A and B are shown apart, each in its own frame.
Chain A
Amino acid sequence: DQQVKQNSPSLSVQEGRISILNCDYTNSMFDYFLWYKKYPAEGPTFLISISSIKDKNEDGRFTVFLNKSAKHLSLHIVPSQPGDSAVYFCAASALEGYSTLTFGKGTMLLVSP
């Protein structure tokens, strides 16, 4: 049973526009969330994170929003650039003992010039 869900396998956006990637989770114990970016044949790299005590976190062009009541988070990229084309993974962690990261299946973002 998937605890972290990324329901859109892919997303296409034009350069300069906003990209919005969505993630839903089912485990109410999750309280720390991360987004990773992955290029083909490479390992994921950390992008941005958010703790459940916040509802928004910004880092340059990247903003993550967390809606705890809906168990939903989203990553906004503004403006989108062709170099942002990659697979984006949402991950979550629970504050219960030693908790590993649980990943979603990823969303492939394609930003066209």
Chain B
Amino acid sequence: DGGITQSPKYLFRKEGQNVTLSCEQNLNHDAMYWYRQDPGQGLRLIYYSQIVNDFQKGDIAEGYSVSREKKESFPLTVTSAQKNPTAFYLCASSRSSGRGMGGYTFGSGTRLTVV
């Protein structure tokens, strides 16, 4: 079955540490995305990538970094520069821009907590 896998489901980080969230898809989608969900804030775009070796900042990219070395993978690093990293992180993928055919396919998310 094709899908998008995020790991781990729960992650705890000490203040000042960088942490990397994994996202893998086997849908053969070109585009991948990272969103952050906070209570009452909806989904906010962090970074997105249309093709391998290329990515663009979203609305809240500060304190985050990404890479897209393979079509299937789009890891997100939450750096120590991110002031409020505790959140639910969602990865998504789509064919081209996601217009049509149901838009994006989402992973099941990673809950990051800073302790």
Contact = CB atoms under 8 A, between A and B. Distances in A.
Interface string A11-51: 00000000000000000000010101000011111100100
Interface stretch (B14-22, B61-69, B95-103): B95-103
Interface residues of B, number: 30
Nearest to A33: B103
A101 B104 contact: yes
Contacts of A42: 108-109
Contacts, number: 65
A41 B103 contact: no
A44 B98 contact: no
Contacts of A106: 42
Contact of A41 (B45, B48, B111): B111
Contacts of B81: none
Contacts of A103: 35, 42-44
Interface residues of A, number: 25
A41 B87 CA distance: 11
A7 B88 CA distance: 22
Contacts of A49: 100, 102-103
**Consensus secondary structure, chain A interface:** loop
Given A42-B109, A43-B107, A100-B48, A93 B99 contact: yes
A56 B40 CA distance: 28
Given A34-B103, A43-B90, A43-B109, A100 B45 contact: yes
Interface in B56-115: 58, 88, 90, 92, 97-100, 102-109, 111
Interface of B: 4, 6, 9, 33, 35, 40-45, 48, 50, 58, 88, 90, 92, 97-100, 102-109, 111
Interface of A: 6, 9, 32, 34, 36, 41-46, 49, 89, 91, 93, 95, 98-106
Q: Shortest 8 CB-CB distances between A and B: which pairs?
A: A43-B106, A105-B42, A46-B102, A103-B43, A34-B103, A43-B108, A103-B42, A44-B106
